[in-house]
């Protein structure tokens, strides 16, 4: 039972354009959502998070949007840079469980 | 501040053997979580420890076990290795277990290959 889904295994975007990565979830008890970036041979690096009481959180070029009614979140990267090329994982947490549920990842390739 | 460290970085074992992986969290972090990453499966949660107590575990067989020491360092053990156990094993630490401003930081992982 995959509670967090990233249905696009890969995405290619031109440098300078917007990258939109999507994530769907099924568990309405999740109250905290995160995005991680992972380069080969490294552990995931935290990017940005959002609480379920918000619908948007911004940090520089990265913005996460949460649509609770649709159980959907997205990560927008503007403008995209070649260094953003990596695998992006979304993750969800129910407070008090200490158990993060991760999606299967989307490989982003930013073309110069 | 030193990050999360994992040892060894690479490991090759044969079926039926057992293996122990080690994780040293960021100084001051008391929560350690373990994940298994395999192609196409993303990161699968194994278990989480806080103050030497396992607070949650994922859907893995009993061959997978872990523990945490009083200095917050953690080990995970896999007994009777199977070919399907080949994966990247990631450890993550946080202050209290994550959520809110308590971010979870990952180590570089241990790449386990079972032959």
Average pLDDT value for chain B: 94
**pLDDT digits over B6-20, tens only?**
999 999 999 999 999
Q: How far is A62 from chain B (nearest CA, A)?
A: 17
Task: Give the start-end residues of each E strand in A3-102.
Answer: 4-5, 10-14, 19-25, 32-38, 45-51, 56-59, 62-67, 72-77, 86-93, 100-102
- Closest of A85, A64, A78, A90 to residue A11, by C-alpha: A85
Instruction: Tell me chain A's radius of gyration from C-alpha atoms.
Output: 13
Residue with tokens 């607070």, as numbered in its chain = B55
Closest by Cβ to A99, choosing from B40, B56, B106: B56
pLDDT recorded at residue A1: 65
> Residue A96: enclosing H or E segment and its boundaries?
none
Q: How far is A40 from chain B (nearest CA, A)?
A: 10
Any residues with CB less than 8 A from the CB of B62 and at least 6 apart, and which? none
Residues A22, A85: contact at Cβ < 8 Å? no
pLDDT recorded at residue A48: 95
Q: Is A44 on the interface with B (CB under 8 A)?
A: yes
DSSP reduced 3-state for A3: coil
pLDDT recorded at residue A26: 96
pLDDT recorded at residue B1: 65
Closest by Cβ to A104, choosing from B35, B42, B99: B42
User: Between chains, do B100 and A104 touch, taking CB under 8 Å as contact?
Assistant: no
Q: How far is A16 from chain B (nearest CA, A)?
A: 28
């Amino acid at each position: 039972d995959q509670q967090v889904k990233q249905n696009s295994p890969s995405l290619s975007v031109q440098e300078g354009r917007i990258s939109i990565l999507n994530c769907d979830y099924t568990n309405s008890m999740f109250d905290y959502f995160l995005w991680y970036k992972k380069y080969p041979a490294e552990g995931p690096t935290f990017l940005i998070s959002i609480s379920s009481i918000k619908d948007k959180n911004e940090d520089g070029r990265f913005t996460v949007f949460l649509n609770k009614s649709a159980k959907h979140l997205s990560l927008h990267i503007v403008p995209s840079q070649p260094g953003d090329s990596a695998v992006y994982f979304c993750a969800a947490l129910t407070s008090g469980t200490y158990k993060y549920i991760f999606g299967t990842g989307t490989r982003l390739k930013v073309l110069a | 501040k030193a990050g999360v460290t994992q040892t060894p970085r690479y490991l090759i074992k044969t079926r039926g053997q057992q293996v122990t992986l080690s994780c040293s969290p960021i100084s001051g972090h008391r929560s350690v979580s373990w994940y298994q990453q395999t192609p196409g499966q993303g990161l699968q949660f194994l278990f989480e420890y806080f103050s030497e107590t396992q607070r949650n575990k994922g859907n893995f067989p009993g061959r997978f076990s872990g523990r945490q020491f009083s200095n917050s360092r953690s080990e995970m053990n896999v007994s009777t290795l199977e070919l399907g156990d080949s994966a990247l094993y990631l450890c993550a630490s946080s202050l209290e277990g994550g959520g809110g401003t308590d971010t979870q930081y990952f180590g570089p992982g241990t790449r386990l290959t079972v032959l």
